[in-house]
A and B are shown apart, each in its own frame.
Chain A
Amino acid sequence: MTCVISCRALTKWFGATAALDGLDLDVAEGEIHGFLGPNGAGKTVTIRILLGLIRPDGGTATLFGDDPWADAVTLHRRLAYVPGDTNLWPNLTGGEIIDLLGQLRGGLDPARRTELIDRFDLDPRKKARAYSKGNRQKVALVAALASGAPLLILDEPTAGLDPLMEAVFQDTVLDTVAEGRTVLLSSHVLAEVERLCQRVTIIRKGRTVETGSLAEMRLVSRTTITAELAGDGGSLASLPGVHDLRVDGPRVMFEVDHEALAAVAGRLGELGLRSLVSSPPTLEELFLRHYGDELEHGGVDHPVVAPRLEADP
């Protein structure tokens, strides 16, 4: 696997607070890599280091094998960036800004520009001050997607987009990856990450807490089972690997460890299985597993996944 982005033990201090505290991040060529973490976890700081806009205080970051600070200009020929909160010059039109950014990145394909403006339903003749947040975001997206850059760094790119435009965004990103490009996608929209990303990195308080493919993560997590039985489901509780069993008449709901799944499925058959729904853990559950305790601190009574489910990979 060729690493396009590689960060090792990155640290960054802002005064006395550590914005990054030993962060690791690897993004392989040709993948869409999800970059997740709660607000203030350090996602944008990491991205700004990768762009050479700020310098890390410790650790190393490489982009295409080069130093993002020292080789900023040459590296920027190979990437396009969409900030999370796009500020645009109020007196320039959207079309002018798209051309400007495209030209700076080494030119953009006019046909692709037209197509994307059309797909995103953007009026390029409007001055930026007249755009809504979503429309400003579209300007930055069109400029980035229409460039031929092999790496796209997207920092919460769909914040402010309506659901229709979000779908357009997802399709377009999938198209770009089909062309062999690499995408680093920082996002809070878990459904979007689940649909787009092969691998994700979850960070918290400036550290990487989990990284890997979604499939791998699911293997070390639990599957939720909802079933209707002829017999009494209460006895399932005694099986190893079954958690949080709830029995409601003929219906049972529980979570089961991945490795105990086969044994539990056999037992369900013995109990006279009538219907079965098995749902693998969602990214939301994976995500919340790492922030569950934070949610409790914040006064949220029922985290979707209880903290005691902690299972270290």
Chain B
Amino acid sequence: MTATVRLVRLILRRDRLRLPAWLVGLVGLMAVSAQSIHSLYGTDEAARAYVATVGDNPALVMFAGPGYGFDRPTSGVVLVNETMLWLALAAGLMSVFLVNRHTRAEEESERADLIRSTVVGRHAPVVAALAVTAGVNVAVALGVAAVTLAFGFPVAGTVALAAAIGLVGMAFGATTAVAAQVAGTGRGAVGLGSALLGLAFVVRGVGDVRAPALSWLTPFGWGIGVRAYAGERWWTLAGLVGFIGVGTATALALSARRDLGRGLLPERPGPAGAGAVTLHPVGLAWRLQRGTVLGWAVGVFLAGLVYGSVADDVETMMADNPQLADYLAQIAGASLAQAYLATAIRMLGLVVGGFAVASALRNRSEEAAGYAELLLAAPLSRWRWGLAHLAVTLVASIGLVTLGGLGTGLAYAQTSGDAGQLVTMTMAALASAPAVLVLAGIATLLFGWVPHATPAAWAALALFAVVQLFATVLRLPHWVTLLSPFGHVPSVPAEPWRILPLVLLGLLAAALLGVGLVGFRRRDLAAA
């Protein structure tokens, strides 16, 4: 572990903008949420009203939590229900990216060899990456605690909430450290790390709706299980610490028996010549993105199946709960199951938005790696090269959205006995496709005109997600929700179809893609 401290300083230097951005984003989100909830649900009476109308809706259990403390509602209970899961998810994502960036992804550059050739211990890079990630999660927890306390939330509950968010985030840092040892590439490691995060998210949701024991298989379950503001159970935090310890030890043990730059899975020889698919630019783009697309396809389809299969429970539980009559009345004409399904499908759309951004930015990463230079020095125009990857982005994004709807519809059709749901849900999912493509358009626009600012596409996705997920709790004015392309998508099947906004979104996406590629044609290609 020699030189760990030096490597920590190197990481802090390299990420001197990235780390504060995460910190400010997460803490800022908590600050506005705490402010809003404090002013809206500051009295116990208001909190009881929240629980009666929104909080006890079993459909929301999937995307909020089991609702600890709903028997004696306070503003703290509302805060936990509205923010905890999402902040823990965001902290988890942050940790997945950070750990991979400084371990497995770094090994793909020759920098890692250079670093390891100096007086640096075998474990130092992994330990340094985990130490920085832990530090940032601690900083997030401290920031979350500070802004929450500032609005007068009780101390014990606030400490529990903040600590749980930081620990859940770090737990996924630890799982990614393990994934980084197993996967063959940095891309594979980040895929595996995110897949574990997504799986944990879905399993926790199903657990809380159907089988509480399942929730305890995931860090989310242990984090929410601390019951902040509702009679804290501090031992669950100890469980998270233990999980992080075991993950770290596993990662270190694996890293000691692995070659630098290789995964634990052996490398097989490939074909001696290119097949017909690889020879075409679109085929090559498909070949390069294939693994990612297939991974996403499995994930989105499974998530859809899970969400769809729970929808019927929502209906049943609702029948036992006359309190929800008000809520039903709010979404005129739609059944609770439909409202839930519309939410689930919208969520899948946002998730596929993440794929669309990553995939559209593939043009940028191919350029930065120097691969684009090889192809563009051949008689291949910038249009065709740029469109090849985007073709994969477009088709795969639409395909993934469809698969999510198909999964949801399949499961819901099966449990509700209404085969027509298969078509309804698939079509409903397709409604978010134009919004997803707008994200690909934003990424391409940045790629074409300000290639160094392409990470801003992720910021756009984060912004849209926040607008989507926090619109209610933050009481955002209607026009703010319309800033997000997802704000224009009709909530099918809870709402009727509106075609015009979808057509306009589609045209916007096409315009962004076109203008982006025009910019790319006009600019200098970056050197590798």
Contacts and interface: CB of A to CB of B under 8 A. Distances in A.
A103 B274 contact: yes
B278 A99 contact: yes
A309 interface: no
Interface in A62-107: 72-77, 79, 81, 83, 85-93, 95-101, 103-106
B272 A91 contact: no
A74 B380 CA distance: 9
B274 A127 contact: no
A92 B278 contact: yes
A113 to B, nearest CB: 9
A160 to B, nearest CB: 12
A118 to B, nearest CB: 12
Nearest to A105: B378
A88 B371 contact: yes
B373 interface: yes
A93 B269 CA distance: 8
A54 B521 CA distance: 10
A308 interface: no
Contacts of A209: none
Given A88-B371, A90-B108, A100 B284 contact: yes
A105 B108 CA distance: 29
Nearest to A106: B379
A95 B270 CA distance: 9
Nearest to A85: B528
A87 B272 contact: no
Contacts of A126: 269-270
B288 interface: yes
Contacts of A77: 379
A53 B373 contact: yes
B272 A95 contact: yes
B333 interface: no
Interface residues of A, number: 44
Given A99-B279, A100-B274, A130 B267 contact: yes
A48 B374 CA distance: 11
Interface in A115-129: 124-127, 129
Contacts of B527: 44, 48
Contacts of A129: 185, 261, 267
A103 B279 contact: yes
Contact of B370 (A75, A85, A90, A127): A85
Interface in A249-293: none
Interface string B324-336: 0000000000000
B71 interface: no
B378 A87 contact: no
B496 interface: no
B379 A140 contact: no
B371 A93 contact: no
A140 B374 contact: yes
A44 B524 CA distance: 14
Contacts of B374: 81, 83, 86-88, 101, 140
A99 B273 contact: yes
A91 B288 contact: yes
Contacts of A97: 274
B204 to A, nearest CB: 33
Nearest to B383: A73
Given A83-B528, A87-B369, 4 more contacts: A55-B524, A77-B379, A87-B374, A100-B279
12 contacts: A53-B525, A73-B381, A81-B374, A90-B185, A91-B288, A95-B273, A96-B273, A101-B378, A103-B274, A125-B270, A129-B261, A153-B377
